[in-house]
């Protein structure tokens, strides 16, 4: 019988254990707070083969060699502390998997450290939240093939399934799994921001009620925009507070949290020198939302001259749909470019098409668009920049008038649309042979003797500008 040890019975750990149990895998579990383990075995385990242990020694001894232990605990120091406690109990050839949202650099350090001790280590990206963990998440393991083969069948069995197979593959070497999961979340931030901007325009310019906007999203979910995030947005918008006629969305304070992976994606893009403005601006928009008191104060001091809306409702909604596709597409283009940059820099050897495949089910960014992106990548024959494909360019150019209208409309009505603006500016910049970076180079050379290159001669130049 296949078996796995799981440490950490929080939201994710508990649901993954039940999912493993459903697939006939024997699971040994351990949790720092013992009562939670006892409660879990008593209340939630129903017919699955799950054994609970309140001592780490007994937990490890219950596993056959090579032991395979999945950590589903808080990322950071807790993981180092747990590895420290496990090490004296493990033997060469055993495997630890970290399924938390760990920073990929921490994972890289742990892979190296444990390699020296003969212990395999997999940084396992897990997406899909509680529901995904229970019924089939998207799994993004990274590490050596040898380590992956120890758990491949187990991971494939619990992953979400789509018409393209189970949503799990070895995404690459070293910390590739956590890197890819991080960028998944960065793309998620951008998609959510784009959706929120569409909602804002429908609410404030078209004056639609939440339930009317919900119908628009439901309708969009039937077509090219079909995705998990569009689907849940439709559900959220029609949800009324229990026992009242008030829409829940109107009762929620407009301060958006951000726990780190979006920020890490933006930081990584900067570190790698890869442009990902729509991903990073989505983090900025959340950070800005936190300044509620300041916004309240300032909003009363800003006079707006609203123009007359020149378009009909249906036309605005049509443009919003096409624009959102433009935003989604560019978010994926940027995210994949960041992964490609990291793969080159850190030697991950990521297959982008496989990443798109395993994002098709179980995860938060699953979307119909992924099939089209895979088709483009397959046609590109080794070239990874999706924008270089004729199909991709046509797709975006077919939507350019729509997003120009939407961004114009947003400005006319004083509505911030960070994701739409950056997606369009990213596209314009990539389509432009001559950017004003020549002037910036001149300024840098003027005040800092940073030197510049010339278009007409080889070499590096500096001028005494005065
Ligand atoms: P959670 O419900 O807050 O549970 C946290 C778990 O970590 C608990 O079992 C807790 O044990 C354990 N823990 C905390 N500090 C520990 C330590 N020092 N030593 C050992 N165990 C410790 O968290 P979760 O939502 O299940 O998430 C677990 C991991 O998965 C996190 O890294 C999270 O970022 C990641 N993740 C979460 C989601 C999601 O949607 N929630 C999705 C993907 C990935 P006690 O019960 O004893 O406190």
Ligand 1, atom 42: closest residue by C-alpha: 129
Residue 138 Cβ inside 6 Å of ligand 1? The answer reads: no
Specify which residues 123 forms β-bridges with. Answer: 98, 142
Rounded distance from Cα 8 to ligand 1 centre (Å) = 6
Note the pLDDT tens digit of each residue in 179-220.
999 999 999 999 999 999 999 999 999 999 999 999 999 999
Note the pLDDT tens digit of each residue in 424-434.
999 999 999 99
Find where tokens 């360019």 sit.
393
Residue 234 Cβ inside 6 Å of ligand 1? The answer reads: no
Mean pLDDT score, 46-72: 96
Given this model, what pLDDT does residue 382 score? 72
Residue 129 Cβ inside 6 Å of ligand 1? The answer reads: yes
Which domains, from first to last, does the chain contain? 3-170 (3.40.50.720), 181-431 (1.10.1040.10), 438-466 (1.20.5.320)
Q: Are 445 and 451 in contact (CB under 8 A)?
A: yes
- State yes or no: is 188 an active-site residue: yes
Residue 56 Cβ inside 6 Å of ligand 1? The answer reads: no
Ligand 1, atom 17: closest residue by C-alpha: 78
Q: How many CB atoms lie within 10 A of CB 21?
A: 20
Give ∠ CA 88-90-92 in degrees, rounded to 5: 120
Active-site residue (options: 68, 181, 238, 263): 181
- Pick from 444, 427, 434, 250: which is nearest to 332 by CA? 427
Find where tokens 């080159």 sit.
344
Note the pLDDT tens digit of each residue in 353-398.
999 999 999 999 999 999 999 999 999 977 778 999 999 999 999 9
Which token pair is 194?
């784009």
Q: Whole-angstrom Cα distance, residue 424 to residue 422?
A: 5
Rounded distance from Cα 13 to ligand 1 centre (Å) = 7
Residue 75 Cβ inside 6 Å of ligand 1? The answer reads: yes
Q: Whole-angstrom Cα distance, residue 137 to residue 362?
A: 4
Note the pLDDT tens digit of each residue in 12-53.
999 999 999 999 999 999 999 999 999 999 999 998 999 999
pTM of this structure: 0.96
Given this model, what pLDDT does residue 121 score? 98
Pairing of strands 50-53, 3-7: unpaired
Would you report the helix, strand and coil content of the chain in percent, each value rounded to 5? 55, 10, 35
Residue 100 Cβ inside 6 Å of ligand 1? The answer reads: yes
Ligand 1, atom 9: closest residue by C-alpha: 8
- State yes or no: is 92 an active-site residue: no
Mean pLDDT score, 253-263: 92
Q: Could you tell me the sign of the dihedral formed by the alpha carbons of 375, 380, 381, 382, in that order?
A: negative
């Amino acid at each position: 019988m296949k078996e796995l040890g799981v440490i950490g019975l929080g939201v994710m750990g508990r649901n993954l254990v039940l999912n493993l149990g459903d697939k006939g895998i024997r699971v040994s579990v351990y949790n720092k707070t013992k009562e939670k383990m006892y409660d879990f075995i008593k209340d939630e385990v129903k017919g699955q083969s799950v054994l609970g242990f309140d001592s780490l020694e007994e937990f490890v001894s219950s596993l056959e060699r090579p032991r395979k232990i999945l950590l589903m605990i808080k990322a950071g120091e807790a993981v180092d502390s747990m590895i420290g406690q496990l090490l004296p109990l493990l033997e060469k050839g055993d495997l630890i998997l970290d399924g938390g949202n760990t920073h990929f650099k921490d994972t890289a350090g742990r892979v190296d450290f444990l390699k020296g001790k003969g212990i395999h280590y997999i940084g396992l990206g897990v997406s899909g939240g509680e529901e995904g963990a229970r019924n089939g998440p998207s799994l993004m393991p990274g590490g050596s093939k040898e380590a992956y083969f120890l758990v491949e069948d187990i991971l494939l069995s619990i992953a979400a399934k789509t018409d393209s197979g189970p949503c799990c593959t070895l995404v690459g070497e070293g910390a590739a799994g956590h890197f890819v999961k991080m960028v998944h979340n960065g793309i998620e931030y951008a998609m959510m921001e784009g959706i929120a901007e569409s909602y804002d325009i429908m609410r404030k310019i078209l004056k639609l009620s939440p339930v009317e906007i919900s119908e628009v999203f439901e309708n969009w979910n039937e077509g090219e925009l079909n995705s998990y995030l569009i689907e849940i947005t439709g559900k959220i918008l029609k949800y009324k507070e229990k026992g009242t006629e008030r829409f829940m969305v109107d009762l929620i304070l407009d301060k958006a949290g951000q726990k780190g992976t979006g920020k890490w994606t933006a930081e990584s893009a900067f570190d790698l020198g890869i442009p990902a403005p729509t991903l990073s601006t989505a983090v900025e928009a959340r950070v800005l939302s936190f300044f509620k008191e300041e916004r309240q104060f300032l909003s009363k001091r800003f006079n707006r001259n609203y123009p007359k809306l020149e378009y009909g409702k249906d036309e605005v909604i049509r443009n919003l749909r096409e624009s959102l596709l433009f935003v989604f597409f560019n978010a994926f283009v940027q995210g994949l470019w960041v992964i490609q940059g990291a793969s080159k820099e850190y030697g991950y050897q990521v297959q982008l098409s496989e990443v798109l495949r395993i994002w098709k089910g179980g995860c938060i960014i699953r979307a119909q668009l992924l099939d089209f992106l895979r088709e483009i990548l397959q046609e590109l024959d080794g070239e990874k920049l999706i924008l270089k494909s004729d199909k991709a360019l046509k797709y975006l150019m077919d939507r350019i008038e729509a997003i120009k209208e939407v961004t114009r409309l947003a400005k006319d009505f004083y509505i911030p649309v960070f994701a739409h603006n950056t997606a369009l500016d990213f596209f314009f910049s990539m389509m432009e042979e001559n950017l004003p970076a020549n002037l910036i180079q001149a300024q840098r050379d003027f005040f800092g003797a940073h030197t510049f290159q010339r278009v007409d001669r080889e070499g590096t130049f500096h001028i005494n500008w005065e």
